[in-house]
Amino acid sequence: MGGKAKISIVFPAYNEEKYITLAVKDFLSTDIVDEVIVIDNNSKDRTAKRAKKAGARVIKETRQGYGWAMRRGLKEAKGDIIITAEPDGTFRGKDIHKLLAYSDDLDVVFGTRTTPQLIHEGAKMDPFLELGNFAVAKLLQILHGGPRLTDVGCSMKLIKRPALKKVLRQFKVGGSHFSPEFMIVTIRSNLKCLEIPVNYHKRVGDSKITSDFWKSFKLGLVMIWLIISRKFTD
């Protein structure tokens, strides 16, 4: 990539007032980030106000859902390199360097939260979630011809602008299973993809997607169905 690549961070946010200020500041403090975009997904708390005050560009997305928020963020990002994460304390700004280390050679970098040495105290990655993520990731890898995969639910990812242009219109998922759709679409579009370990910390604030066993279990089934059906429909 010629010249200095501009970097955008995308945060989907639904009632994340407890950590949004620190998250925006943490990612901006890396000094290589050009913009932090917070997609406010109908938050009823002070998420938007705090994000703006911390230096983020705040965009309102009214279609409710993790996928809708992520897709809107990817669409609005202006950078040459777009990095997605979550503003809930689980990811760290310093880890963007890990993803960026591969961006010269690859189009897309997926994070994985299932590396034991990088799972920190209190992080929600119990043996069930770890094994579940691993098994579903292997299914995705095998059915769609992906790189080595160990996690299907990690929001921390990197995509370069030319690659994003190729895939943005192919996304259909608005819900919590957007992460595997992102992986399937980028892999099947013959983009060069790789998965790398990132740090995974304890969440700050209320968990929405995987707050209990049954929610996680149901989401796992939805992901499995997506992975199998996309093998035969696209």
Ligand X SMILES: Nc1nc2c(ncn2[C@@H]2O[C@H](COP(=O)(O)OP(=O)(O)OP(=O)(O)O)[C@@H](O)[C@H]2O)c(=O)[nH]1
How many CB atoms sit inside 10 A of residue 184's CB?
22
| Contact flags string 116-155 toward ligand X, x per CB under 6 A | --------x----------------------------x--
Q: Binding to ligand X by residue 180, rule CB under 6 A?
A: no
> Least Å distance between CB 169 and Mg ion?
27
User: Which C-beta is closer to Mg ion: that of 100 or that of 204?
Assistant: 204
Site string for ligand X, 197-216 (x = CB under 6 A): ------x---xxxx------
Q: Residue 207 Cβ, how far from ligand X at the closest point, in Å?
A: 3
Q: How far is CA 74 from the centre of its chain?
A: 11
Provide the 10 A C-beta neighbour count for residue 76: 16
Contact between 86 and ligand X by CB under 6 A: the answer reads: yes
**Distance, CA of 58 to CA of 38 (rounded, Å):** 5
Lookup: tokens for 143: 């059915």
| Helices 178-188 and 66-76, packing angle to 10 deg | 50
Q: Which is nearer to ligand X, 5 or 22 (CB)?
A: 22
- 229 scored as a contact of ligand X (CB under 6 A): no
Cα separation, 32 vs 220, in Å, equals: 35
**Scanning residues 65 to 84, which ones bind ligand X (CB under 6 A)?**
65-66, 69
Is 86 near Mg ion (CB under 5 A)?
yes
The CA distance from 199 to 185, in Å, is 25
Cα 58 from Cα 87, distance rounded (Å):
13
User: Which partner in ligand X, Mg ion, none is near 124 (CB below 5 to 8 A by kind)?
Assistant: ligand X
By the 8 A CB rule, do 151 and 179 touch? no
Q: Is 88 in the site for Mg ion (CB under 5 A)?
A: yes
Tokens linked to 88: 């809930």
Residues in touch with ligand X (CB under 6 A): 12-14, 16, 41, 64-66, 69, 86-88, 90, 124, 153, 176, 203, 207-210
Query: Residues interacting with Mg ion, by CB under 5 A?
Result: 86, 88, 90
